[in-house]
Structure 1
Amino acid sequence: MKPEHMSLADAGDGKVRVEASFAAADVSSVFEVVRRILAYTNVIDSTSDEDIMTLLVEKLGQDEVESRCAEGVPAMLVSWIVDALDFETILDPVIVDAPQPTQGAPYALAVEVTRKPRYELSSYEPVRVQLPEQKVTDEEVEGYLKQIVLDHAAYVETEEDRPVRPGDRVNVSISTLRGAQPVEHLTSPSRSFDIGEGWFSPEFDENVTGMRRGETKTFEFQALGLHSKNERDTETLTCTVTVRSLAEFTPPQLTDEWVASHIEGAKSVGELREAIRARMAQERAKPDEEALLRPVAQELSRRLDAPISDALYEKVVNDLIYQISGQAEQSNLSLDDYLATQGMDREAFGAFLMERAREAILEGFALDSYADHFGLDLADADLDEVFLEMTGGRVAAASSLREQYEKGGHMYEIREKARRLKANKHAARRAVLALG
């Protein structure tokens, strides 16, 4: 959906008055969306065979429905006006003239938008990011070394005359009956399994635990039937087990000889330790791109001298409050309780909001300037990247979210995010990294 016609007039102080008109068919579509939203918020079945308008009038009354549509239709059309502009805006658009809309008729309204200011950075040279020196501790090296040894561990048959323990791998001859009938898949002269790994039921493992090599035991246990539909749908089986052998999970002895024959590039335990330490230090010295984005944006913002209007500052603070209140709600906590989990009280929260809002505004403007300077144009893949980030990498959810933004006329929000992200990554790839 796009406005059929738009005219722009300078309103002073960076503001632009936009008059836009929409086709009758588009207006009717928006009426339908507003009514469905009304139905949803008022718990009315919008999938009913009855006309939604009829259901709404029955519940809310004719005057209330018309009043809600008179507010809702222009409000939804505003996003399509902003989306159609050939410049970026800040602040929320303000409706300055919105007559009563009529179903099935063209519609025109006027809004006031604020152009996003453009600034120049003091320099576009690669930023220098100071990375904290993260020493590799002896404990971390030993933990890594221990894992290497465990990765080479194997089950080794033991001749020790001892009872079966959890974690052992046992080989048994097994005969199982359901009543008087043999259970084919649980009858075998030789079957190996690991105690405690869930190969059989926990009850079965409990009966085998404590047996010794050569010992025979008959017991009953509960197992899922062949046609069981849930975990409580079990049957009683009678089982006779003879332990033939047992093996225990045994790591190799960490010696210079073992290292030389099993670990490429190391001839002794000492060399392996130093190689582990060097590898861990190298990995930490090269943070991934995601870890660099915020520090790079902060460094760019220090190259920007830009005034922040009270209106923009207030908007960003309110956006942050809304975002954090949503996080508290998702955690089923009051805002005060949620802030306590973050180590803040109301006073500290106020200081955080002021500082974070200022940082967010300056970082955003700095990235805009960077994108302008390097002529970073957007591709469709850049937009998809933002949707994937917003949905935690879930492709199907990202596709669904994109459809919602496209149908709602809010792609201008995604274009801004995508361009800033592209600028941030471009600057991160050029960054000079310094340790310590």
Structure 2
Amino acid sequence: MKVETVRTKDGKVELAAELSKKEVAKEMRRIAESEIARYNYRLGINDDDPVEFLRKHLGYDEASFVFDEGIMRHRTPFALTAVEIDVIGKPVYKCLEHASADKPFTFHLVCVPVPDFELESYDPVSLTLPTQQVKSAEIEEEIQKMAQASAVAVTDRSHEIVFKGDKVELAMETTKDGKKVKPLCTDGREYNTGALAMPDDFDAAIIGMKVGETKSFTFEGPELELGPDGKPIMEKYQTTVTVKRIIDMQPPELDDAWAKTTMPDVKSMGDLRKKIEEKLVAKREDEYNRRAQALASNELAKRLKGDIPDLIYGVAVKEAREQLTSKLREENISLDDYLKKEGVEKDQLNNVLLMQVRGQLTRQFALNAYAKHLGLTVEEPDLEAFFESIAPGKAWQASMDFKQEGRMYAARCAALRLKASKDAVANANINTQGTNAS
């Protein structure tokens, strides 16, 4: 793909990207196969060419627009990487003629590049951060959590009547309309009263029963489907329940023998405490570093010289709104429900997004200015650190995703900002809060 700058005007850059015939054919086949898989279309015996199949299925005109849109959307990040432009928001792309596998395809994209700024000062920032030290009480708390997790069920003989909060073993036989309900039939199932695992009337019937007692009763429970009014459909169940025993979860004795069962290479409680401390220290250091980098970025942002153009704000707010809409759609949450949850009126949403965007942009531009002033550059370890920061434990996969999507220049820019924030922390005047008290 060839990419060249057509013009630069009013804070925007227009690029022209040209794909060869071979690249166009490859893109069209990729798009066709993706659309066929997405909508589960069935190819006939003679439909060997997915491109022609999609044209027949959608019609030539509609398929042409699908191919154009798919090519431009997919290739835009590659075009930006080719000319090394870091942008604000999503570029706008267009083409003058439809893509065809028998000739090159050219499209134009208009983008808003990240502007250059300066800082009022590049002196070290001052930060106040919590201590990284791990208290002995925190280690003991972790040990107690591990002990509770490995507790074993024993019969509780301290009382025979079931109270709310008791864990019990039940035998039960349940029917609905005279037919057995297999998931609710068992010779022995553990059940926690008061835990809302079953309907209230079932729970109420169990509480007060004695060990060994058998009781038959009816309770109501919701079906999986909702009724016309949007509320759960309630069904009646008939059940016969026997309380076999009351259960007490008995934690293990905290000794060397138990410690050996918890982690590899642990032979004593002393080893276990050391391992837990190492784990907590690593977690605390990660939290400390992230907080320190965020605070350093905020401090640098306060030093940004000049005003951010309205064009930048407009493009960034538009993208923020689109991302919010997409997120709400994925989570199946209405905008009204979201606003109610956040305590924001509909006409205030733009102001909220603008405040969020302003903070994000000033930090981004300040880190860029800091990195440029110091002459920082991105090396392979810096890229690896960036991918690890956005996908802990899956940095390699994140790297592959960025490469496949053509976003490597954007990744390098983000990696440079991360490196700048780390440098700002390394050279900061840090005041540590907290003590070494156990």
Question: Is the shorter-chain TM-score for this pair beyond 0.5, marking a shared fold?
Answer: yes
1:322 aligns with 2:328: no
CA distance in 2, matches of 1:248, 1:114: 61
1:412 aligns with 2:367: no
Q: Which residue of 1 aligns with 2:429?
A: 432
Report the CA distance shift for 1:141/1:365 in structure 2 as closer, same or farther (over 3 A): closer
CA distance in 1, matches of 2:331, 2:420: 33
Question: TM-score, structure 2 length as denominator?
Answer: 0.60
- 1:44 Cα shift? 2.4
Instruction: Map 1:81-230 onto structure 2 (within 5 A).
Output: 81-95=79-93, 97-131=95-129, 147=141, 197=152, 205-206=154-155
- 1:302 Cα shift? 1.0
Contact 1:289 1:429 in 2 (8 A): no
* Superposed CA offset, 1:216-238 (max 9, x none): xxxxx99xxxxxxxxx9999xxx
Q: Aligned-pair RMSD on alpha carbons?
A: 4.6
Question: TM-score, structure 1 length as denominator?
Answer: 0.61
Give secondary structure in 2 for the equivalent of 1:378: coil
Q: Which residue of 2 aligns with 1:55?
A: 53
CA distance in 2, matches of 1:53, 1:149: 61
CA distance in 2, matches of 1:60, 1:89: 34
1:361 aligns with 2:358: no
The one-letter code matched in structure 2 to 1:20 is A
- 1:369 Cα shift? 0.7
Q: Percent identity?
A: 23
1:79 aligns with 2:73: no
CA distance in 2, matches of 1:37, 1:341: 37
Give secondary structure in 2 for the equivalent of 1:288: helix
Give secondary structure in 1 for the equivalent of 2:108: strand
- 1:299 Cα shift? 0.8
**Which stretch shows the higher mean deviation, 55-64 or 357-366?**
55-64
* Superposed CA offset, 1:119-176 (max 9, x none): 2111111111245899x9xxx999659759979x9xxxxxxxxxxxxx9xxxxxxxxx
Residue 13 of structure 1, aligned match among 10, 15, 22: 10
Report the CA distance shift for 1:353/1:143 in structure 2 as closer, same or farther (over 3 A): same
Q: Which residue of 2 aligns with 1:421?
A: 418
Report the CA distance shift for 1:95/1:148 in structure 2 as closer, same or farther (over 3 A): closer
The one-letter code matched in structure 2 to 1:126 is P
* Superposed CA offset, 1:243-297 (max 9, x none): xxxx997899xxxxxxxxxxx9xxxxxxxxxxxxxxx9xx999971101222211
Instruction: Map 1:287-302 onto structure 2 (within 5 A).
Output: 288-302=288-302
- 1:359 Cα shift? 1.2
- 1:371 Cα shift? 1.2
Q: Which residue of 2 aligns with 1:43?
A: 40
Q: Which residue of 1 aligns with 2:227?
A: none
Residue 69 of structure 1, aligned match among 64, 67, 70: 67
Give secondary structure in 1 for the equivalent of 2:376: coil
Give secondary structure in 2 for the equivalent of 1:43: coil
Q: Which residue of 2 aligns with 1:306?
A: 306
- 1:435 Cα shift? 5.8
Q: Which residue of 2 aligns with 1:275?
A: none
Instruction: Map 1:369-384 onto structure 2 (within 5 A).
Output: 369-384=369-384
CA distance in 1, matches of 2:409, 2:349: 30
Instruction: Map 1:383-398 onto structure 2 (within 5 A).
Output: 383-391=383-391, 393-395=392-394, 398=395
- 1:343 Cα shift? 4.2
The one-letter code matched in structure 1 to 2:403 is E
Length, aligned pairs only? 325
Q: Which residue of 1 aligns with 2:243?
A: none
Q: Which residue of 2 aligns with 1:30?
A: 27
Give secondary structure in 2 for the equivalent of 1:419: helix
Contact 1:44 1:55 in 2 (8 A): no
CA distance in 2, matches of 1:68, 1:33: 12
Give secondary structure in 2 for the equivalent of 1:376: coil
For structure 2, the 5+ residue unaligned runs are: 159-169, 172-184, 189-249, 256-269, 271-279, 434-438
**Which stretch shows the higher mean deviation, 141-150 or 374-383?**
141-150
- 1:363 Cα shift? 0.9
Q: Which of 1 and 2 has higher RCO (CA within 8 Å, sep 6+)? A: 2
- 1:24 Cα shift? 1.9
Contact 1:17 1:111 in 2 (8 A): yes
Contact 2:367 2:420 in 1 (8 A): yes
* Superposed CA offset, 1:162-193 (max 9, x none): xxxxx9xxxxxxxxxxxxxxxxxxxxxxxxxx
Q: Which residue of 1 aligns with 2:204?
A: none
CA distance in 1, matches of 2:51, 2:138: 66
Larger radius of gyration: 1
CA distance in 2, matches of 1:422, 1:19: 32
For structure 1, the 5+ residue unaligned runs are: 154-166, 168-194, 199-204, 211-220, 223-231, 236-246, 253-263, 265-279
CA distance in 2, matches of 1:248, 1:435: 38
Report the CA distance shift for 1:79/1:427 in structure 2 as closer, same or farther (over 3 A): same
- 1:13 Cα shift? 2.9
- 1:22 Cα shift? 2.5
CA distance in 2, matches of 1:68, 1:85: 26
* Superposed CA offset, 1:50-100 (max 9, x none): 432343234312222123213332343332221101443334333365432
* Superposed CA offset, 1:23-70 (max 9, x none): 222121111222233324433268998432343234312222123213
Contact 2:90 2:319 in 1 (8 A): no
